[in-house]
């Protein structure tokens, strides 16, 4: 009985230590899995960037097109006013 009592603390300590290590290993596995998923998504996103850039390059010309449209509208109004006299 005395020998068993001496080792009970060791077994409890080893069990708790094993439990803590198992929990840490599980958390690290989850973190690594999520990091892998994030890396896959980032790689897919970076592969799609050139396509998006090519599709949105024309948006830089919107201001110039608007300015041209306003100029055409003003010229048309001026021409109408000159033709109709009003």
| Alpha-carbon 5 to chain mean position | 57
pTM above 0.85, yes or no: no
H helix runs in the chain, sequence order: 2-56, 62-84
pLDDT of residue 5: 65
Q: What is the domain partition of the chain in residue ranges?
A: 2-84
Nearest-angstrom CA–CA distance, 86 and 82: 7
- Interval 2-61: pLDDT, tens: 556 677 888 889 999 999 999 999 999 999 999 999 999 999 999 888 888 888 888 888
- Interval 46-67: pLDDT, tens: 988 888 888 888 888 888 889 9
């Amino acid at each position: 009985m005395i020998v068993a009592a001496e080792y009970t603390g060791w077994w409890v300590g080893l069990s708790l230590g094993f439990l803590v290590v198992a929990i840490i290993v599980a958390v690290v596995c989850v973190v690594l899995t999520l990091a892998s998923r994030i890396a896959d998504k980032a790689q897919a996103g970076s592969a799609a960037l050139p396509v998006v850039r090519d599709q949105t390059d024309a948006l830089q010309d919107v201001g110039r097109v608007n300015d041209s449209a306003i100029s055409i509208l003003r010229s048309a109004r001026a021409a109408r006013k000159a033709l109709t006299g009003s």
